[in-house]
Amino acid sequence: MVGLAATFGSGAMTNSINDFDGADLFLVIGSNTTSQHPLIGSRIINAVKRGAKLLLIDPREIQLAEFADLHLRHDIGTDVAVLNGIMNVIIEEGLDDKEFVETRTEGFDQLKDVVSKYPPRVVEKISGINSHDLKKAALMYAKADKAMLVYAMGITQHTTGVDNVKTCANLAMLTGHLGRPSTGVNPLRGQNNVQGACDMGALPNVYSGYQPVTDLAVKKKFEDAWGVAALNDKVGLTIIDMMIAAQKGGLKALYVMGENPLMSDPDTSHIEHALSNLDFLVVQDIFLSETAAKADVVLPAASFAEKEGTYTNTERRVQISGKAISSPGLARPDWQIICELSTLAGYPMNYKSPVDIMKDINAVTPSYAGITYERLERGYGLQWPCINEDHPGTPYLHKDKFSKGKGTFIPCEFKPVVEMPDEEYDFMLTTGRIYYQYHTGTMTRRTSILDREAPAALVEINPEDAKKLGIKNNEIVELTSRRGSIKLKAEITKRVPQNVVFSTFHFHESPVNILTSPAYDPIAKIPEYKGCAVKVRRCA
Amino acid sequence: MRRTRTVCPFCGCGCSFYLLSEGDRVTGIEPSPLNPVNKGMLCVKGWNAHEFIHSPERLTTPLIRKHGSLVESTWDEALKVVADRFLDIKKQFGSRALAFLSSAKVTNEENYLFMKMARAAFGTNNVDHCARL
């Protein structure tokens, strides 16, 4: 999101899910869409069936590969080189959208300088993609009338995540695939309200609507609205920095609402040490998660079915969700718990319902100003920005100008994965999710059909590698990185290329994040889940 | 039988479905046919999104760690312990010693209140969630 904010001025999916039906071409990079976002994955497949083209860039042979017109299987972490190579070909062939570049963007000369260093033969050496395929991909994307670029965590979960995102944005601007229906740069968000949590300012640097905490006019606005004498104007800690501060002793108390960092964060033993070093840990959740089991106080929360509220999906659509049943036992909706606690801490909150809270949000958040319960109840959600009660919402961004005026090309150089395989740790481990399970498994592992279909963690190993290591399908193997080791079953499959293994973080019995690298992107602080070095051994 | 319009709790697609319920028991799921996101369809996770709600492992009472183990408590006691400990630590070490991890699973209203509490009640911008994970 930081990457898109820097280039366009707004860090969100530019277009809408319905736009998938009208696109001529999809460039899908770093998204296993049919597993992670199945209903968007099926839109892509349906579009391909009616004649749209699919250009897939992914190291793994994911399900979408079956439908792709061209699949580039680049080496893990070489995305910037591949995309720069595509731009190199587009400029060489004169296929850049000169009018768009001229009128809507700035910084083209710098981009040209950088991508000139990535001709196809150089990219081939870095990424393993042959020149012929790279050129073909460049022509496909540039010549399409309406091309949607789609990405997910395969782009962001790298130490170069922000560079990867900026490079995607550069490519879309270079070809003018922006600011129209069925085009754009479309990050697919991984959780049902990750967009909303960002929009609402659950971030260390901004209030709701991305209003910076360091901006004195913004600070004054919130002080007045909230009736507080002085708000803090220093940027706070990200989750990664919180864990480091806890380990060093500077952070004493942590309040965790509905998250499970002990399973989801990289390098588990570091997180475990950080949490145990706290003086006080509170966890508010619907289950006793791995993290909750370590807490000093655990607060039982209501599930989505037991409360009213709104969620914002990946296409910026705010939707209403009603209360179907009451909570079990003494469990309460999170908003009620927060109100009581804040009041006890000396800052009274007297909201009667989520409708009341939304009125507050409308008043201080320009992009949500026109999103009211009354309107949401009548229809099927509203897409921000929606600046007043008559505004219809915004299906696609950057129509005539970018949120920040002109779009800025921010060219990036290729940098490899921080922890590359070497003689001892000779495989690249990459991680992700599978279709039947979700995140740390707290919900899906408790669902019988899903646990029946995918009951245990598997590690995907290429048949050639398996042969060399003497590993058979379903045999138990041990994966070891510099940080720890886990045992799990092998799935011998060509889905992964040679010298790469893939696994998931859904299963607490084989917690893959014991292995993952704590290296992270210096700006976005996203960990490099998509690449670290491991060794693989058959268990006797 | 009641039908309540909700949003799927899993990925970011934002599929909409109706929870079918009898009393306090959710009995099934019916995708919203007119919703522009999922148009009457759901994936396997969505179709089964109601089961974990009734898991016997749901937390049903506040817990406080006493002599090393988590024991059942009341809301009054648990919330007082949290408020007192956070205020104590703030007094002793300043608001920078406190941090708040919000959630990509809870509602907009709850995320807004959580960051408001961190900033207005406890004076810290140490607020984040797992967008990066």
Whether residues A465 and A324 share a domain: the answer is no
In a domain, residue A421? The reply is no
Pick from A197, A306, A310: which is nearest to B131 by CB?
Answer: A197
Residue type, A470: G
DSSP letters spanning A271-336: HHHHHHT-SEEEEEESB--TTGGG-SEEEEB--GGGS-EEEE-TTSEEEEE---SPPSTT-B-HHH
Q: Torsions phi, psi of A44, nearest 5? A: -65, -45
In a domain, residue A316? The reply is yes
Whether residues A378 and A509 share a domain: the answer is no
In a domain, residue A510? The reply is yes
- Position B39 scores a pLDDT of 93
Q: What percent of chain A has pLDDT over 90?
A: 83
**Is B91 near chain A, with CB under 8 Å?**
no
Whether residues A124 and A235 share a domain: the answer is no
Chain B hits for A527, CB-CB cut-off 8 Å, are 132-133
Whether residues A438 and A374 share a domain: the answer is no
For B4, which residue in chain A has the nearest alpha carbon? A324
The residue from A153, A188, A223 where one domain ends is A188
Distance from CA of A346 to the nearest CA of B (A): 7
Chain A hits for B118, CB-CB cut-off 8 Å, are 255
Residue from A205, A376, A447 to probe the interface with B (highest B Cβ count within 10 Å): A447
Whether residues A304 and A244 share a domain: the answer is yes
Whether residues A296 and A320 share a domain: the answer is yes
Whether residues A160 and A35 share a domain: the answer is yes
Task: Examine the pLDDT at A9 and tell me if it is beyond 80.
Answer: no
In a domain, residue A392? The reply is no
Return the CATH number at A106.
3.40.228.10
**Alpha-carbon gap, residue A309 to B108, rounded angstroms:** 7
Give the H or E element holding residue A534: strand A532-538
Return the CATH number at A436.
2.40.40.20
Whether residues A132 and A264 share a domain: the answer is no
Whether residues A161 and A240 share a domain: the answer is no
Chain A hits for B86, CB-CB cut-off 8 Å, are 253, 255, 280, 345
**Alpha-carbon gap, residue A395 to A378, rounded angstroms:** 18
Pick from A298, A333, A335: which is nearest to B70 by CB?
Answer: A298
Pick from A246, A313, A446: which is nearest to B57 by CB?
Answer: A446
Q: Is the CB of residue A297 less than 8 Å from the CB of residue A341? A: no
Pairing of strands A70-72, A427-432: unpaired
Q: Which residue has the tokens 């398996």?
A: A466
Chain B hits for A321, CB-CB cut-off 8 Å, are 5-7, 107
The pLDDT-based confidence of A404 (bands split at 50, 70, 90) is confident
Task: Give the total number of structural domains in chain A.
Answer: 3
Domain hosting residue A242, numbered range: 194-383
Residue from B101, B117, B122, B124 to probe the interface with A (highest A Cβ count within 10 Å): B101
The stretch A505-532 carries a mean pLDDT of 87
- Position A352 scores a pLDDT of 97
- Position A49 scores a pLDDT of 96
Tell me how many residue pairs between chain A and chain B have CB atoms under 8 A apart. Answer: 434
For residue A312, give Cα distances in angstroms to A191, A259, A491, B28.
Answer: 10, 18, 36, 24
The stretch A29-33 carries a mean pLDDT of 95
Task: Examine the pLDDT at B43 and tell me if it is beyond 80.
Answer: yes
Q: What percent of chain B has pLDDT over 70?
A: 98
For the sheet with A185-187, list strands across it.
Answer: A70-72, A53-57, A25-29, A147-151, A185-187
Whether residues A114 and A52 share a domain: the answer is yes
pLDDT digits (tens, 9 = 90+) for A49-69: 999 999 999 999 999 999 999
Which residue, A283, A279, A278, A286, is CA-closest to A306? A286
Of residues A22 and A508, which shows the higher confidence score?
A: A22
Interface of B with A in 4-43 (CB under 8 A): 4-16, 19, 21, 23-26, 32, 34-38, 41-43
Contact B59 A258 (CB under 8 A): no
- Position B131 scores a pLDDT of 66
Task: Examine the pLDDT at A144 and tell me if it is beyond 70.
Answer: yes
The stretch A248-269 carries a mean pLDDT of 90
Q: How far does chain B reach from its first CA to its final CA, in angstroms? A: 38
Distance from CA of B29 to the nearest CA of A (A): 11
Whether residues A370 and A314 share a domain: the answer is yes
Task: Examine the pLDDT at B10 and tell me if it is beyond 80.
Answer: yes
The domain B2-54 having CATH identifier 3.10.20.30: the answer here is no
Task: Examine the pLDDT at A421 and tell me if it is beyond 70.
Answer: yes
pLDDT digits (tens, 9 = 90+) for A301-319: 999 999 999 999 999 999 9
Rounded mean pLDDT of chain A? 94
In a domain, residue A158? The reply is yes
Side-chain-facing half-sphere of A250: CA atoms under 13 Å: 10
Task: Examine the pLDDT at A10 and tell me if it is beyond 80.
Answer: no
The residue from A124, A153, A188 where one domain ends is A188
The residues of chain B that CATH labels 2.20.25.90 are 2-54
- Position B133 scores a pLDDT of 58
Chain B hits for A319, CB-CB cut-off 8 Å, are 7, 14, 16
The pLDDT-based confidence of B6 (bands split at 50, 70, 90) is very high
The residue from A188, A222, A240 where one domain ends is A188
In a domain, residue A64? The reply is yes
In a domain, residue A283? The reply is yes
pTM: 0.93
Q: Is the CB of residue A254 less than 8 Å from the CB of residue B101? A: yes
Whether residues A180 and A249 share a domain: the answer is no
Task: Examine the pLDDT at B132 and tell me if it is beyond 70.
Answer: no
